[in-house]
Amino acid sequence: MAEVQELKQIASQVRRDIVRMVHAVQSGHPGGSLGCTDFLTALYFNIMEHNPKFSMNGVNEDLFFLSNGHISPVFYSVLAHSGYFDKKELSTFRRLNSRLQGHPTTHEHLPGVRVASGSLGQGMSVAIGAALAKKLNKDSHVVYSLHGDGELDEGQNWEAIMFAGHHKVDNLISTIDHNGQQIDGPTDVVMKLGDLRVKFESFGWQVLEMDGNDMDDTIRGLNEARSYVGKGKPIAIIMKTVMGKGVDFMEGHHEWHGIAPSDEQLAKALAQLPETLGDY
């Protein structure tokens, strides 16, 4: 289990991978990927019990579902560095005949991915199903999911949130990446989210908040979330992040949701992100 200093080093490498992957193919979503890097690094290198010798059913291990599939670069990088597949494969991202599709899929059998995502709003339902299967299997491990805040515009989330509260799915920890940005602009302008804590609580969830770009607070928050498992309520983490975190000119700009850096911008970005584990 990696501690905070090491986690920060891994996160720096993951961020390098993200901007390099998106730059190489001039396509992809760097903003949300960079914002969620600390969270996914903490999850895979400190919090989750998981087996890189991948099995689809994932019995007796913790599971993670990425609902906002467009942040695939961060997911792929973390999976590669966790040992699910060779990091060299990151160079195939979004290219023809790759297992690293634009949005994560199971179709090409990439280890570590358990469901396709990309069409938004579906991941929480899938995570609930996996959590119910764990209960039926008497498997005490936890199911994690990640969702964009803009993604909560999709109505299916609210069906899932209502279901999980009603059925007391208390082995589910769903994190909302609350960066306040979506493609067309700030969430407050595109579609107001209101008070997310109050909304989740009124549906019967245990809610906590954390700073998803502060590794200490991310570890604290995820451990606190785990402490609520098995206590009769699904758990939501409202995670404050900054879109584009770690690359100064991308930070906080929704324009970086889905565009690639130029050669010059790549150089500027990499200068801010030390290579720690070796580039792919």
Partner 1 sequence: MLKDIQVQNEKETRGGFGEGIYEIGKENPDVVVLTADLAGSMKLGPFIKDFPERYVQCGIAEANMIGIAAGLTIGGKIPYTTTFANFSTGRVYDQIRQSVAYSGKNVKICASHAGLTLGEDGATHQILEDIGLMRMLPGMTVIVPCDFNQTKAATKAIAAYEGPVYLRFGRPKWPNFTKEDGSDFVIGKAQVLNEGTDISIFACGHLVWKAIEAGRILEEKGYSVELINIHTIKPLDEEAIVKSITKTGCAVTCEEHNVLGGLGDSVAHVASRHFPVPIEYVGTNDTFGESGKPSELLTKYGLDTPDIVAAAENALARKKK
Indicate whether 159 belongs to the interface with partner 1 (CB under 8 A). Answer: yes
Indicate whether 59 belongs to the interface with partner 1 (CB under 8 A). Answer: yes
How far does Cα 35 stand from its chain's mean position? 9
Indicate whether 171 belongs to the interface with partner 1 (CB under 8 A). Answer: no
| Interacting residue with partner 1 among 58, 165, 212, 244 (CB under 8 A) | 58
Indicate whether 131 belongs to the interface with partner 1 (CB under 8 A). Answer: yes
Q: What is the distance between the alpha carbons of residues 122 and 143, in angstroms, rounded to a whole number?
A: 15
From first CA to last CA, the distance across the chain in angstroms is 23
Task: Please list, in sequence order, all residues whose beta carbon lies within 8 angstroms of the beta carbon of residue 261, skipping any fewer than 6 positions away.
Answer: 19, 22, 23, 30, 250, 269
The answer to whether residues 44 and 50 touch, using CB atoms and an 8 Å cutoff, is yes
Indicate whether 56 belongs to the interface with partner 1 (CB under 8 A). Answer: yes
Over the window 109 to 128, marking each residue x when it contacts partner 1 by CB under 8 A and - when it does not, the resulting string is -----xxxxxx-xxxxxxxx
Name which of residues 25 to 44 contact partner 1 (CB under 8 A). Answer: none
For the chain, the helix, strand and coil percentages under 3-state DSSP, each to the nearest 5? 45, 10, 45
Indicate whether 129 belongs to the interface with partner 1 (CB under 8 A). Answer: yes
CB of 132 to partner 1, least distance (A): 6
63 versus 100: smaller Cβ distance to partner 1: 63
| Interacting residue with partner 1 among 14, 40, 43, 63 (CB under 8 A) | 63
Q: Which stretch binds partner 1 (CB under 8 A): 154-162, 217-225, 250-258, 262-270?
A: 154-162
Indicate whether 71 belongs to the interface with partner 1 (CB under 8 A). Answer: no
CB of 117 to partner 1, least distance (A): 7
Indicate whether 168 belongs to the interface with partner 1 (CB under 8 A). Answer: no
Task: Please list, in sequence order, all residues whose beta carbon lies within 8 angstroms of the beta carbon of residue 129, skipping any fewer than 6 positions away.
Answer: none
CB of 123 to partner 1, least distance (A): 8
Q: What is the distance between the alpha carbons of residues 113 and 100, in angstroms, rounded to a whole number?
A: 10
Cα dihedral value 137, 168, 126, 142, nearest 10: -60
